[in-house]
Amino acid sequence: MSTSPVATLGDSLVLKEVMIDPYPTLCRLQREDPVHWCDAIGAWLFTRYDDIVPTFRNVCTYSNEGRLSKVVEYLPAESRAHYKVLEEHFRAKSLIFSDPPDHTRLRALVTKVFNATRVEEMRPRITELIDKLVGDALDRGHADVINDIAVPLPFTIVGAIIGVPASDQDNVKRWADELLAFQGLNKPPEAILKISQQALIDFRAYIGELIRERRRTPRADLLSSLVAAEAEGDKLTEQELTYTCITLLVAGHETTTSLIGNGLYTILRHPDQWDLLRREPSLLGSAVEEMLRFESPVGRQPRVVKEDIEVRGKLIRQGDVVFQMLNAANRDPEYFENPDEFDIRRQPNRHLSFGMGIHFCVGALLARTEAQILFQTLVERAPHIQLVDEKPDWDLRKPNSRMMHSLDVRF
């Protein structure tokens, strides 16, 4: 039996050359088959903005619970048994793997440290760190923006919020990368699952030791607050405490790293837009939003369907996985005029890069603040920054993320 061109098109999303530039493929899917079953990914792909919005808002139908645990369900029972630790972790409830009322309770415990008042209080620390990172790069005359700035900046800040020593940054970053190495695929190779599970085991042991230390000696950090909530019993279990900390450490830096790398690469590839930002620094906020839209840090996120539904004439069964193709929605021509054009003046700009509704990214304000301060600093201190190589070095290890592996610049 022959394979239809559209089916082949969807399966091509896992190919390296398509992952480097997925937008032509996503555009065709959006136009020809916006609700598309992709066997290579093992899920339905939603590419239209109007179809993705309900997957955020209707949590009764599109669930976050267990949305990553299905990653081992394709395996034979004998093989699947080897990944019980990984499966149980993603079946357990934590901040981004739960629905109300558990999600409401867990989110309330962490949002207070990411609100506008607290983020503004952190502004001097963020500015100081950025000045040092950029200053060191200027002294050298060159930098790998990803490893020299985009990784240490958000990790240092979120680590300080949670209570993770800066000396542990390399280990935690490695565990975070390895833990979610399978994301974006529902049928990853077992070799990747083994790496992810071992990272989880090491990560949990590390967080467990930090928790025991905070029980002995509380500090003025989020981890101590969560330990206190755990002590109250009805607010947080030990498992929720551990998994929420892991979630915050993983998600709390990666989006900002992507935003900085993707954003700087994109605006330097559009020198007219960089010149415009230099002339009109008041466009800084709008520029960061356009960076988020044009190269969404998170390309796709899964939801588990809790009941049979029909979308655009396609029957989607209970238990199926739907991927929100955010980088497609952010270029939907029904919502964005000239969607493939990078325009830092774009208004309105209702991109979905941080999600929406009750699952709107809890750290969105912090990420935006870090990015705005960094780009303001670069405009002021490094106005003639240039790419060393205009060919992008995309990190293809985690298919759900749109992230650069390195970004070399000179001053």
* More confident site: 93 or 64: 64
76 vs 17: CA distance, rounded Å: 30
DSSP, collapsed to helix, strand or coil, labels residue 331 as coil
94 backbone φψ class: left, alpha, beta (φ>0; ψ -120 to 50): beta
8 A C-beta contact, residue 54 and residue 62 = yes
> Mean pLDDT throughout 1-18?
75
Mean pLDDT computed over 22-51: 95
Give the β-pairing of 142-144 and 408-410: antiparallel
* Per-chain mean pLDDT for the chain: 91
Percent of the chain beyond pLDDT 70?
A: 97
Please tell me the predicted confidence (pLDDT) of residue 236: 82
Cα distance between residue 138 and residue 134, in whole Å: 6
Q: Which of 208-222, 244-258, 260-274 has the highest mean pLDDT?
A: 260-274
Q: Give the pLDDT confidence of 151-205 residue by residue, as tens digits.
A: 999 989 998 899 998 888 789 888 988 887 776 566 788 888 999 999 999 999 9
Q: What is the side-by-side strand order in the sheet with 386-387?
A: 142-144, 408-410, 386-387
pLDDT of 256: 94
Whether residue 10 has pLDDT greater than 90: no
pLDDT of 4: 63
Distance CA 40, CA 63 (A): 22
Task: Tell me how far apart the alpha carbons of residues 239 and 220 are, in angstroms, rounded to a whole number.
Answer: 22
Compute the distance between CA of residue 35 and CA of residue 38 in angstroms, rounded to an integer: 10
Is residue 313 classed as helix, strand or coil in its secondary structure? Answer: coil
Residue 125, phi then psi, degrees to nearest 5: -65, -40
Select from 40, 13, 44 the least CA-distant residue to 304. Answer: 44
305-333 mean pLDDT? 97
- Alpha-carbon span 73 to 406, nearest angstrom: 34
**pLDDT above 90: percentage of residues in the chain:** 67
Are 149 and 135 in contact by the 8 Å Cβ rule? The answer is no
> Which residue has better confidence, 266 or 243?
266
What is the reported pLDDT for 72?
A: 85
Task: Specify the pTM.
Answer: 0.91
7 — pLDDT class (breaks 50, 70, 90): low
> 24: pLDDT confidence band, cut at 50, 70 and 90?
very high
Question: Residue 1's pLDDT is what?
Answer: 36
CATH class given for the domain over 5-410: mainly alpha
Is pLDDT at 68 greater than 90 in this prediction? no
Q: How far apart are CA 365 and CA 398, in angstroms?
A: 24
Domain positions in the chain: 5-410
- At 342 the three-state DSSP class reads coil
The vertex-21 CA angle with 333 and 55, nearest 5°, equals 50
pLDDT digits (tens, 9 = 90+) for 117-134: 989 999 999 999 999 999
Q: Residue 147, SS3? A: helix
Q: Is pLDDT above 80 for 3?
A: no
Which of the four pLDDT bands, split at 50, 70 and 90, describes residue 2? very low
319: left (phi over 0), alpha (psi -120 to 50) or beta: left
pLDDT score recorded for residue 233: 67
pLDDT computed for residue 83 by the predictor:
92
Both tokens of residue 58?
A: 């209707």
pLDDT, tens only, 74-92: 888 888 999 999 988 888 8
Residue 368 predicted with pLDDT over 90: yes
Q: In DSSP terms, which residues pair with 37 in a beta bridge?
A: 44
What digits encode the pLDDT tens for the residues 230-243?
Answer: 877 667 888 888 98
DSSP-assigned letters across all residues of 15-83: SHHHHHS-HHHHHHHHHH-SEEEETTTTEEEE--HHHHHHHHH-TTTEE-TTTTGGGGTTS-HHHHGGG
